Structure 1
Amino acid sequence: MSTVGRSQAGLIGLQSLRPGSSLTVEEEGDFLVSPNGTFSAGFYRVGSNASCYSIWFTKNGNLVLTDGVGSIIWSTNTFSNTGLEARLLETGNLVLLNQEKKVIWQSFDFPTDTLLPSQKFVKNTTLVSMRSQGTYLSGFYNFKFDDNNVLYLVYNGALLSSVYWPTTDVTVFESGRTPYNSSRLAILDEAGQFISSDNLMFNASDYGVGPKRRLTMDYDGILRLYSLNESSGFWELSWLPDGVDACSVHGLCGEYGVCTYKPQPTCACPHGFTRNDPSDGSKGCSPVFNLSHDSINSEFMELPNTDYYGYDLETYSPKVSFQECQKSCQNDTRCKGFGYTLDGLGHCFPKSLLLNGFSMPNTLQIMHMKIPKGFLSNEVLNGPVTYDLNCSAAQVVLQSSDVEVEKGNKNRYMDYLIGFVSSFAVIEAICIGLTWWYIFRKQAKEEFVNMGYIALAMGFKRFTYVELKKATNNFKQEIGKGGFGTVYKGVLDDERVVAVKRLDGVLQGDAEFWAEVSVIGNINHRNLVKLWGFCADNQHKLLVYEYLENGSLDKILFSDVELGLEQRYKIAVGTAKGLSYLHEECLEWVLHCDVKPQNILLDDQLEPKVADFGMSKLFTDIHGIKDMQGMGFSKARGTRGYMAPEWIMNLNIDSKADVYSYGIILLELLSGKSASILISALAKEYNECNQLVQFVTEKIKKEGLKQVIDPRLLPEFELKKLERLMKVALLCVHEDRNARPAMSKVVEILLENIE
Structure 2
Amino acid sequence: MGFVSTYLPELRCSCPPGFEMVDPQNWSKGCRPTFSYNCGKERYKFIEIPQTDFYDFILGFNQSISFEECQNICLSTCSCIAFSYRLTGTGVCYPKGLLFNGYKSPAFPGTLYLKVPYSTNLQASSTQSALTCSPGSQEIATPSDHPRWLYFYIFPGVFGALELVFILTVWWFLSVRNDIQNSAEGGYMMIRNQFRRFTYQELKEATGKFREELGRGSSGIVYRGVLKDKRVIAVKKLIDVTRGEVEFQAEMSVIGKINHMNLVRIWGFCSEGKHELLVYEYVENESLDRYLFNTMGTERLLVWKDRFNIVLGAARALAYLHHECLEWVFHCDVKPENILLTRDFEAKIADFGLSKLYKREGSSFNFSQMRGTMGYMAPEWATNLPINTKVDVYSYGVVLLEIVAGQRISSHTTREGNVKEALATGDTKCIVDGRLHGQFNSEQAMVMLIVAVSCLEEERSKRPTMHEVVKTLLDCEEFININMNVENARITYIVKRRKY
What TM-score do the two structures reach when normalised by structure 1?
Answer: 0.40
Q: Does 1:631 find its partner at 2:364?
A: yes
Report the equivalent of 1:598: 337
Report the equivalent of 1:754: 477
- Aligned pair partner of 1:608 in 336, 344, 347: 347
Give the Cα–Cα distance (whole angstroms) in 2 for the partners of residues 361 and 546 of structure 1. Answer: 35
Please say if residues 360 and 587 of structure 1, whose CA atoms lie closer than 8 Å, have aligned partners that are also in contact: no
Map residues 108-119 of structure 1 onto 2, 5 A cutoff: none
Residue 583 of structure 1 and its aligned partner are, at CA, apart by 0.6
Percent identity of equivalent pairs: 42
1:582-616 deviations in Å (ceiling 9; x for gaps): 11111111111000011111111111111111413
Give the Cα–Cα distance (whole angstroms) in 1 for the partners of residues 428 and 248 of structure 2. Answer: 47
Report the equivalent of 2:356: 617
Higher RCO, Cα 8 Å, sep 6+? 2
Map residues 23-172 of structure 1 onto 2, 5 A cutoff: 170=17
1:519-570 deviations in Å (ceiling 9; x for gaps): 1111111111111000000110000000000111111111232211111000
Give the Cα–Cα distance (whole angstroms) in 2 for the partners of residues 345 and 716 of structure 1. Answer: 36
Q: Could you say what secondary structure the match of 1:715 adopts?
A: coil
Report the equivalent of 1:5: none
Give the Cα–Cα distance (whole angstroms) in 2 for the partners of residues 630 and 359 of structure 1. Answer: 22
Report the equivalent of 1:717: 440
Give the Cα–Cα distance (whole angstroms) in 2 for the partners of residues 749 and 576 of structure 1. Answer: 10
Q: Does 1:742 find its partner at 2:465?
A: yes
1:216-249 deviations in Å (ceiling 9; x for gaps): xxxxxxxxxxxxxxxxxxxxxxxxxxx987x99x
- Aligned pair partner of 1:548 in 283, 301, 304: 283
Please say if residues 668 and 674 of structure 1, whose CA atoms lie closer than 8 Å, have aligned partners that are also in contact: yes
Give the Cα–Cα distance (whole angstroms) in 1 for the partners of residues 455 and 89 of structure 2. Answer: 32
Give the Cα–Cα distance (whole angstroms) in 2 for the partners of residues 466 and 737 of structure 1. Answer: 46
Report the equivalent of 1:495: 230
Report the equivalent of 1:340: 73
Residue 650 of structure 1 and its aligned partner are, at CA, apart by 2.1
Q: Structure 1's 485 and 362: CA in aligned 2 closer, same or farther, altered over 3 A? A: farther
Report the equivalent of 1:130: none
- Aligned pair partner of 2:377 in 628, 637, 643: 643
Give the Cα–Cα distance (whole angstroms) in 2 for the partners of residues 595 and 457 of structure 1. Answer: 29
Q: Could you say what secondary structure the match of 1:562 adopts?
A: coil
Residue 628 of structure 1 and its aligned partner are, at CA, apart by 11
| Code of the aligned partner of 1:462 | R
Report the equivalent of 1:729: 452
Report the equivalent of 2:486: none
What TM-score do the two structures reach when normalised by structure 2?
Answer: 0.59
Q: Could you say what secondary structure the match of 2:301 adopts?
A: coil
| Code of the aligned partner of 1:604 | R
Give the Cα–Cα distance (whole angstroms) in 2 for the partners of residues 655 and 562 of structure 1. Answer: 32
Please say if residues 306 and 358 of structure 1, whose CA atoms lie closer than 8 Å, have aligned partners that are also in contact: no
Instruction: Please tell me the root mean square deviation across aligned C-alpha atoms, in Å.
Output: 3.9
Q: Could you say what secondary structure the match of 2:329 adopts?
A: coil
Residue 573 of structure 1 and its aligned partner are, at CA, apart by 0.5
Residue 629 of structure 1 and its aligned partner are, at CA, apart by 4.7
| Code of the aligned partner of 2:372 | G
1:687-716 deviations in Å (ceiling 9; x for gaps): xxxx84356446767994311211122331
Give the Cα–Cα distance (whole angstroms) in 1 for the partners of residues 87 and 426 of structure 2. Answer: 59
1:273-331 deviations in Å (ceiling 9; x for gaps): xxxxxxxxxxxxxxxxxxxxxxxxxxxxx9627675xxx8xxxxxxxxxxxxx7xxxxx
Q: Does 1:706 find its partner at 2:445?
A: no
Q: Structure 1's 494 and 753: CA in aligned 2 closer, same or farther, altered over 3 A? A: same
| Code of the aligned partner of 1:661 | S
Give the Cα–Cα distance (whole angstroms) in 2 for the partners of residues 527 and 602 of structure 1. Answer: 10
- Aligned pair partner of 1:672 in 402, 406, 418: 406
Q: Could you say what secondary structure the match of 2:438 adopts?
A: helix
| Code of the aligned partner of 1:571 | I
Report the equivalent of 1:364: 94
- Aligned pair partner of 2:392 in 658, 676, 696: 658
Map residues 279-298 of structure 1 onto 2, 5 A cutoff: none
Residue 171 of structure 1 and its aligned partner are, at CA, apart by 8.7
| Code of the aligned partner of 1:732 | C
Q: Structure 1's 362 and 516: CA in aligned 2 closer, same or farther, altered over 3 A? A: farther
Map residues 346-745 of structure 1 onto 2, 5 A cutoff: 346=80, 357-358=87-88, 363-365=93-95, 458-559=193-294, 560=297, 561-617=300-356, 629=362, 631-634=364-367, 635-675=369-409, 678=410, 692-694=415-417, 696-697=419-420, 704-745=427-468
Q: Structure 1's 703 and 363: CA in aligned 2 closer, same or farther, altered over 3 A? A: closer
Give the Cα–Cα distance (whole angstroms) in 2 for the partners of residues 654 and 307 of structure 1. Answer: 30
Give the Cα–Cα distance (whole angstroms) in 2 for the partners of residues 694 and 522 of structure 1. Answer: 42
Q: Does 1:304 find its partner at 2:304?
A: no
1:701-735 deviations in Å (ceiling 9; x for gaps): 79943112111223313221111111111111111
Q: Structure 1's 737 and 348: CA in aligned 2 closer, same or farther, altered over 3 A? A: closer
Please say if residues 568 and 669 of structure 1, whose CA atoms lie closer than 8 Å, have aligned partners that are also in contact: yes
Report the equivalent of 1:177: none
1:422-480 deviations in Å (ceiling 9; x for gaps): xxxxxxxxxxxxxxxxxxxxxxxxxxxxxxxxxx9711111111111111111111112
| Code of the aligned partner of 1:530 | R
| Code of the aligned partner of 1:707 | C
Give the Cα–Cα distance (whole angstroms) in 1 for the partners of residues 87 and 81 of structure 2. Answer: 18
Give the Cα–Cα distance (whole angstroms) in 1 for the partners of residues 15 and 426 of structure 2. Answer: 58
Q: Could you say what secondary structure the match of 2:472 adopts?
A: helix
Report the equivalent of 1:9: none
Give the Cα–Cα distance (whole angstroms) in 2 for the partners of residues 492 and 628 of structure 1. Answer: 39
Please say if residues 339 and 348 of structure 1, whose CA atoms lie closer than 8 Å, have aligned partners that are also in contact: no
1:384-407 deviations in Å (ceiling 9; x for gaps): xxxxxxxxxxxxxxxxxxxxxxxx
